[in-house]
């Protein structure tokens, strides 16, 4: 069952927030709807790269691999790292309960 799902999101001040999450929602939506400052200008259409987050290394293998389109769009993001992802391309699931992400700096 997908009760009590949550993710941990660290904001740009270094404060970590425990956010309730819903199965099937985009991680971007979970962050945004909980009031954290993520721009996500394109609303998840893979056109803006302003939903950029860093995923804690321990979680990287649990994520669905990046599609080429995500990789290409990430090239436009600011301060891209090996663990960079666009959070609109990650869907919440039981497997990702407790996922740890950090908001990337805004360009």
> At closest approach, how far in Å is the CB of 7 from ligand FES?
16
Residue 33 corresponds to which tokens in the numbers above?
């709807």
Q: Does 48 bind ligand FES (CB under 6 A)?
A: yes
Contact 21, 95 (CB under 8 A): no
How deeply is 104 buried, as exposed, middle or buried, from its count of CB atoms within 10 A (0-12, 13-18, 19+)?
Answer: buried
The C-alpha atoms of residue 78 and residue 80 are separated, in whole angstroms, by 6
Q: Which member of 5, 49, 53, 96 binds ligand FES (CB under 6 A)? A: 49
Q: Which residue is nearest to ligand FES (CB)?
A: 88
Q: Does 42 bind ligand FES (CB under 6 A)?
A: yes
Q: Does 80 bind ligand FES (CB under 6 A)?
A: no
Neighbours of 44 (CB within 10 A): 16
Binding site for ligand FES (CB under 6 A): 28, 40-42, 44, 46-51, 73, 86, 88
């Amino acid at each position: 069952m997908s009760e009590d799902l949550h993710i941990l999101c660290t904001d740009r001040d270094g404060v970590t927030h425990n956010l309730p999450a819903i199965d099937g929602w985009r991680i971007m939506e979970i962050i945004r709807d909980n009031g954290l400052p993520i721009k996500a200008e394109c609303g998840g259409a893979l056109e803006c790269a302003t939903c950029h987050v860093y995923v804690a290394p321990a979680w990287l293998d649990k994520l669905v691999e990046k599609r080429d389109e995500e990789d290409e769009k990430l090239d436009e993001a600011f301060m891209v790292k090996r663990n960079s992802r666009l959070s609109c391309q990650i869907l919440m699931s039981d497997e990702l309960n407790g996922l740890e992400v950090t908001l990337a700096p805004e360009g």
